[in-house]
């Protein structure tokens, strides 16, 4: 059983461009979570999704950020019009229903020039 997959592992964007980060959960996991780790800081919760539903987006910035987890395909975290402050590592985690433990992917490191 493959672990949580994230791609790309590294992403470089110029200010004003769009960034798309992908996350494929582990097989059988219907819950996906996105976390952001700013340099020298801990991980901060962004959003929790189930298939085709956003359950909790209390950690998402109000503008430019969106997330989806379609019926088919990976979960996507989309950042529009990136700014330098968006530079961070973005981690995806997944879990099956009614399980407290989450399994983390290797992360996508976004650099905004």
Contact between 55 and other proteins per CB under 8 A: yes
Q: Which of 48, 67, 79, 110 binds other proteins (CB under 8 A)?
A: 48
Contact between 113 and other proteins per CB under 8 A: no
Contact between 75 and other proteins per CB under 8 A: no
CA distance 22 to 39: 21
Rounded to a whole number of angstroms, the minimum distance from the CB of residue 77 to other proteins is 15
Contact between 41 and other proteins per CB under 8 A: yes
Contact between 25 and other proteins per CB under 8 A: no
Looking up tokens 């791609």 gives 7
Looking up tokens 């200010």 gives 15
Q: What burial letters (b/e) apply to 92-107, b meaning 16+ CB within 10 Å? A: bbbbeeeeeebbebeb
């Amino acid at each position: 059983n493959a672990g949580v997959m994230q791609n790309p592992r590294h992403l470089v964007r110029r200010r004003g461009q769009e960034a798309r980060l992908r996350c494929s959960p582990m097989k059988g996991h219907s819950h996906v979570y996105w976390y952001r780790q700013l340099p020298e800081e801990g991980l901060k919760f962004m959003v929790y999704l189930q298939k085709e539903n956003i359950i909790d987006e209390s950690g998402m910035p109000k503008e430019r950020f969106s997330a989806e987890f379609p019926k088919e395909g990976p979960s996507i975290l989309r950042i529009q019009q990136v700014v330098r402050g968006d530079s961070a590592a973005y981690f995806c985690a997944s879990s099956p229903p009614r399980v407290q433990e989450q399994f983390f992917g290797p992360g996508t490191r976004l650099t905004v020039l």
